[in-house]
Amino acid sequence: MPAAQRAEIRRACRDAGIAVSGLHWLLAAPAGLSITSADPRVWQKSVDVLRASVELCAELGGVYLVHGSPAQRRVNDPSDGPRAVEAWALAAEAASKAGVVYCLEPLATPDCNFVNTLAEAEDVVRRIDNPAFRTMVDTLAASLMEPEPVADAIRRWMPTGLVAHVQFNDRNKRGPGQGADKFAPVVRALRDTGYVGWIAMEPFVYEPDGATCAARMIGYVQGLLEQA
């Protein structure tokens, strides 16, 4: 992305009164990226996009990046995993230099087949051993993959210092407050463990439209924060 285009994005955000918290879905575009690919050209291009994303995040004022991107980290062979870890280590170096945090997101099966739990993410984070590389909690994935309720998982993992970000979504793939999942215990757990970072909303269903979904989610979570 040319410097002029990045500057235009900064101006648009400033003029609209929008604060950029961070970046998600890092390798969704351009098509064909993969940090597990055995093709060195594909792998290197993917790493270049990660590094550029880190720079963009910092330039826009963001503080974190979330590496979900399940299709772009799919493993088909045991030898694929180390290539992903190497790519994350390079992204961590870039994040450290840029002053942002790069978060590995544990994702649920069957959408993702590599790093599905917080324990698996912990293993990668400790191997890379860079303070700019940590993990995060996605409530949808955690509710499906962790051995305990999401609130209990937060109470277990937040004190480790390895969790740098949290995002809320219901198991019905809508936003918090738009399904059966209870988020009050999760908010209390975040309060009790001293979490002061961003709480992102990540629905996959936007009905009736994005703006209405955003307003409902924000109002719901703000109400929980006031009660906690």
pLDDT averaged over every residue in the chain: 96
Tens of pLDDT, residue by residue over 114-128, are 999 999 999 999 999
Q: How far apart are CA 23 and CA 66, in angstroms?
A: 6
Q: How far apart are CA 75 and CA 77, in angstroms?
A: 6
Residue 149's CB is within 10 A of a number of other CB atoms, namely 15
Tens of pLDDT, residue by residue over 24-83, are 999 999 999 999 999 999 999 999 999 999 999 999 999 999 999 999 999 999 999 999
Quote the pLDDT of residue 1: 84
Structural domains counted in the chain: 1
Percent share of the chain, pLDDT over 70: 100
**Residues 6+ positions from 14 with CB-CB distance below 8 Å:** none
Q: Nearest-CA neighbor of 130 among 153, 106, 156, 103?
A: 103
What domain range is 208 assigned to?
3-227
pTM: 0.95
What CATH number has the domain bearing residue 190? Answer: 3.20.20.150
Nearest-5° Cα angle at 12, 8 to 18: 135
Asked if pLDDT for residue 166 goes beyond 90, the answer is yes
Quote the pLDDT of residue 33: 98
Q: Exposed, middle or buried: residue 88 (CB in 10 Å: 0-12, 13-18, 19+)? A: buried
Mean pLDDT of 151-172: 98
**Alpha-helical regions (H) of the chain:** 3-16, 40-59, 80-98, 118-128, 139-145, 150-157, 184-192, 210-227
Quote the pLDDT of residue 129: 98
Q: How far apart are CA 167 and CA 189, in angstroms?
A: 14
Q: How far apart are CA 156 and CA 174, in angstroms?
A: 26
